[in-house]
A = this chain, B = another copy of it.
């Protein structure tokens, strides 16, 4: 495998699974060329009754071959039944070397490990975490895994870098034409946007539902005109695991402090005084607390946000209903309140990675977000962020929308300075997920470090009472706290996965872990 050093000094392969790859060259430094992928033109005359009896028929109809690429979305999260069921049938047919291209994987997808070990699946393109990531880390894949962000996955499919032979789309509600939505039905999950690219560009698209309704299923998030076949199954997933009833705001004093500092940073930087305020935060405890503080500040100042980017949660929905946020631009609903609001409130907008995150468009929403709050497993002196591997080298997390959401005007990373015996701040992250260029601030319980590249932000924060610090000082503090513990990954030379940046270039490689 030939390696080349990218602009961050990381060695990445020049070829991945036989296809040429380009090294990351810096933000905006790799303009795309060529034209979007064109899916096969179909004949209306061939599409009468699209119904199939069961998943076995659906797999048969998809006409899979050894080496085919099949895709799934992750809106049913840890409650998803579909991926495992389809893979069981595929395995029973004796197929080999399939590529599985999910928008994310969850612990419930552990059975995939056996299919990988048995050669049914060669590797994953898209996202991995938990057990499948662990298997990848030990060199258990026969080919190199490719990790992409949500926006990067859409881009790769759109640009033809990831050609999908057959997409299986779990649809909580659908009609016989294939129009499908996620906002209702017994397996309701909210948006279905992660399946949009699959529906538009895959050669063969199957919608699988456990709630068929008369035509037209409206609103539709997937259009029947892109769907080849429709299958009704007993149950798509376990509702309790598809969506949590309520997301939890943290009450840990240290985390509350981090969230408050992040919110004050937004306040003190004057972002809320500008027209068109907007923000994005996830569903983790700190993020939610940040949103709570945000709400308080907006209320005090009489500011109304033009929009908030979801993942939607009870808290965000409350701000929408109170009128503090004009619209929620939602990508996935994290709790039942989010799902219900999406179905009922016309100002709760269903989005997809094309409009929100895709870098190869005429602009997406991400850079229109004023303040984005994100977590990390590591951040380094140069503000490079790692969300994929732990400091010991294990690949345990997908990218999610991280690199895309980091396109916000001010991207703030929040994390405790240490986890167990590990420092979160490092001189150099184990793996780069997002370049330091795209990260603006790090907030932990010991203070706030602004990326020196953002002189404008340093200037705006003059006069702020926030405890300003540097990455170097935070690292020193962490060394003091952990008794100078330096975690180091014990890895072999072998590259088991590559991290693709949202522009399609390789930002880092992940090496095989040598277990203790």
Interface, chain A (partner B; CB < 8 A):
27-28, 31-48, 50, 158-160, 177-178, 205, 214-216, 218, 223-228, 275-276, 306-307, 327, 329, 346-347, 349, 354-355, 358-365, 367-368, 407
Contact = CB atoms under 8 A, between A and B. Distances in A.
Given A32-B43, A38-B37, A225 B364 contact: yes
A218 B307 CA distance: 11
B224 A363 contact: yes
Nearest to A204: B362
A50 B363 contact: yes
Interface residues of A, dominant DSSP = loop
Given A32-B43, A44-B363, A177-B368, A225 B37 contact: no
A162 to B, nearest CB: 14
A42 B32 contact: yes
A31 B359 CA distance: 35
A367 B215 CA distance: 12
Contact of A178 (B32, B37, B362): B362
A355 B223 contact: yes
A35 B39 contact: yes
- This chain: how many copies in the complex? 2
A9 B477 CA distance: 88
Contacts of A218: 327, 347, 349
Contacts of A35: 38-41
B37 A33 contact: no
27 contacts: A27-B45, A28-B45, A31-B43, A32-B42, A34-B40, A35-B41, A36-B39, A38-B160, A43-B359, A44-B367, A45-B359, A50-B362, A178-B362, A178-B363, A205-B362, A214-B275, A214-B276, A215-B306, A216-B349, A223-B354, A223-B355, A224-B362, A225-B355, A225-B363, A225-B364, A227-B362, A346-B346
A216 B329 contact: yes
Contact of A363 (B47, B347, B362): B47
A33 B41 contact: yes
